[in-house]
Amino acid sequence: MSKGRRDFFKASLLTAAAASISKGLNAASPAPSDSAMKDSKYKRNLECDVIVVGAGSAGVPAAISAARNGAKVILLDDDALLGGAPVDMFVAATCGDPFLGIYKEMRTRLTDKYDLSGTKSSGGWFFPTNYAFIIAQMVKAEKNITVIASAPVTGVIMDSAGNTPKILGVEFLDYGFCKSSIKAKIIIDATGTGLVSELAGATCLYGADAKSDYNESKAPEKRNNTVMPCTLMSVMQAIRPDAKIERVKENPLLLDGNAGHFNCIPEDKPLPQRPYYLNWTASRACDTRDPQALARIQNELMDEVVAPLIDKYLDMGFAINVAPKIGVRECRRVLGHYVIDSKHVAEEKFPDDSVSHGRYWFDIWVDKGDFHGDPNEAKLIHFGIPYGAGVPKGVDNLLTAGKHISGTSLAMSVYRVQPIVGAFGEAMGAAAAMCAANKTSPMNLDLKTLQRQMVKQGVLPERFA
């Protein structure tokens, strides 16, 4: 077969695959007509029980949990593929634990089919595409979920008539050039950035808290806008039989198939030779609330750091596949009825309203007191995450799930990782379904019923039953 014909068939297969995935996730709709646009503010006016905005590590478990608890769910995301950070930012290593509930289901499927270590280990990482396939399959299996992808939120629909403003729904960009609306009984902000919460008028924190804000001894004296730097991730694959990895001074943080960090290997020890590596390629800080700032630093890093590394690794026999989006560790934090602080996690507290739990260390990528991010020295901390951290103050009908839940910047460095936000997202999904079914506000939810359900779903220890 000629090269031209091979390229034609390859393009046809890719087009067909994309169409198949799109058909499976998004309900087909006709293109908007001029008359429809004139008759209504929105092209489409949709309704459901629960809207989950953000199809990442918190949003997907939230949507599945809400659906399994009987709610009609619309899962809205601004990306074409579901999955969030592992898929579009290549944050494909599993940090933190335990693996619970729906996140555990996903992780087990990944390990059974796509493990890169060769040992079916509990650690390690997976190719980003494997995350995308598994997540799409899990969501598609839930008949109560409708997915609308490539649909960024442009605004919120509010009711300000009562004592507390109430969010009724969201607006999103539809068909690429017009707006549509979704109204629901409960909205879950699982964006990871807190954007929906801020649009709804919730109080959002950003940057480092002052020592006096939450009585944290290792916080700075004054509040500032410093957040952890963003990282441009990549996957490296051998492209020659003689490929051999060597140390690169400018790029020490690689992860091999058996989940070993190169920066933890002494200089006098040989590096493990694998056909693929996960690479923390380059980092830089910016205002993570600003998409244009993120785009600028991504392009700067590509030009200044990645381009020279591409040639260095190519000489060793490896190609670099850079993530389409830069990874964001820290953005807004939405003030809730419980603020998780550094004492909460360090003292391993399990509040009475805990609905999930996690175990990790203070993984801080900027200088914040004596806290650090070295796993060789850090202590694993086991703590509960309270329901109140996901219930924003000042806005009704709204729940949050993800690294932007209510907590200080120091505490957030511990609970921000995927297994932990996944378990809490699952709890918020069940809470949203219960609120929708009982026509109640998140503030009036029967917490004991939710906790018993979380024990049943494997997200909360048995003693909370």
How does pLDDT run across 369-396, given as a tens digit for each residue? 555 555 545 688 999 999 999 999 999 9
Angle at 277 between CA 275 and CA 278, to 5 degrees: 155
Amino acid sitting at position 240: R
Stretches where the chain sits below pLDDT 70 are: 1-39, 118-123, 257-259, 367-378
Alpha helices in 239-306, H assignment, sequence order? 291-301
One-letter amino acid of 344: H
CA dihedral (31, 35, 37, 41) in degrees, to 10, reads -140
Instruction: Give how far Cα 465 sits from Cα of 59, 69, 354, 448, 453, Å.
Output: 25, 18, 11, 8, 8
Domain 40-225+329-465 coded CATH 3.50.50.60: yes
Q: What is the pTM of this model?
A: 0.90
Average pLDDT, the chain: 88
Question: d(Cα 71, Cα 194) in Å, to the nearest integer?
Answer: 23
Q: Which residues pair with 75 in a beta bridge?
A: 52, 147
- Rounded Cα distance between 128 and 143, Å, is 25
Are 173 and 77 within 8 A, CB to CB?
no
The contacts of residue 295 (CB under 8 Å, 6+ apart) are none
Angle at 327 between CA 267 and CA 146, to 5 degrees: 140
Triad 18, 235, 318: Cα angle to 5°: 115
Q: What are the domain boundaries of the chain?
A: 40-225+329-465, 230-322
* 458/379 Cα distance (integer angstroms): 25
Residue 138 is predicted with a pLDDT of: 98
3-class secondary structure, 383 = strand
- pLDDT tens digits for range 49-97: 999 999 999 999 999 999 999 999 999 999 999 999 999 999 998 889 9
Residue with token string 């969201």? 170
Which H or E element spans position 163? none
State residue 373's pLDDT score: 53
Number of C-alpha atoms within 13 angstroms, CB side, residue 191? 23
